[in-house]
Amino acid sequence: MAKPTTADELRVHLLAVQGNFSKGTRRLADFLLANPGAVALLSSAEVAKRCDVHASSLVRLAQTLGLSGFRELQAILQSDVAARVDQAPPEPRAAPRERLRLRLLAESGRSFNQAAAEAADRYWVAHPEVEFHSELHVSHAISAEEMAHRIETVAEGADGLVLVAREHPAVNRAVQGVVARGVPVVCLTSDLPSSGRTAFVGSDQFASGSTAGWFCGRLMPRHPPGRVLFVGSVPFRCQLDREQGFRQVLRSEFPMLSIEEKVSSDESVEVVYDAIRRHIAMHGAPGAIYNVSGANLGIGRALEDEGLAGKVVFVGHELTANVRILLEKGVMDVTIGHDFDREIAGAVDCIAQARAGVQPASRLTPSLLYTRYNCL
Contact 39, 71 (CB under 8 A): no
The structure's pTM equals 0.72
User: Is position 128 within any domain?
Assistant: yes
Boundary-marking domain end, from 321, 337, 353: 337
**How crowded is residue 289: how many other Cβ atoms within 10 Å of its Cβ?**
29
- Percent of residues, the chain, with pLDDT higher than 90: 62
User: Is position 2 within any domain?
Assistant: no
Number of domains into which the chain is organized? 3
Residue 50, pLDDT score: 73
User: Is position 192 within any domain?
Assistant: yes
Residues 194 and 221 in one domain: no
Instruction: Give the range of the structural domain holding residue 166, as residue numbers without chain letter.
Output: 100-203+340-363
Residue 355, pLDDT score: 96
User: Is position 245 within any domain?
Assistant: yes
Residues 250 and 329 in one domain: yes
* CATH code, 15: 1.10.10.10
User: Is position 376 within any domain?
Assistant: no
User: For all residues of the chain together, what is the average pLDDT?
Assistant: 90
> What's the CA gap between 189 and 167, in Å, rounded?
12
Residues 229 and 330 in one domain: yes
**Is pLDDT above 70 for 127?**
yes
| Nearest one of 249, 313, 246, 299 to 270, comparing CA atoms | 299
**Is pLDDT above 80 for 86?**
no
Residue 85, pLDDT score: 65
Tell me the per-residue pLDDT of 290-328, one tens digit each, with 9 for 90 and over. 999 888 999 999 999 999 999 999 999 999 889 999 999
Residues 172 and 215 in one domain: no
Residue 34, pLDDT score: 78
pLDDT bucket at 94, cuts 50 / 70 / 90:
very low
- Which of 7-16, 63-72, 145-154 is most confident? 145-154
pLDDT bucket at 95, cuts 50 / 70 / 90:
very low
User: Is position 30 within any domain?
Assistant: yes
> What's the CA gap between 215 and 313, in Å, rounded?
9
Mean pLDDT throughout 206-218?
96
pLDDT bucket at 96, cuts 50 / 70 / 90:
very low
Residues 258 and 325 in one domain: yes
Q: What is the three-class DSSP state of 8?
A: helix
* CATH code, 298: 3.40.50.2300
**Is pLDDT above 80 for 19?**
no
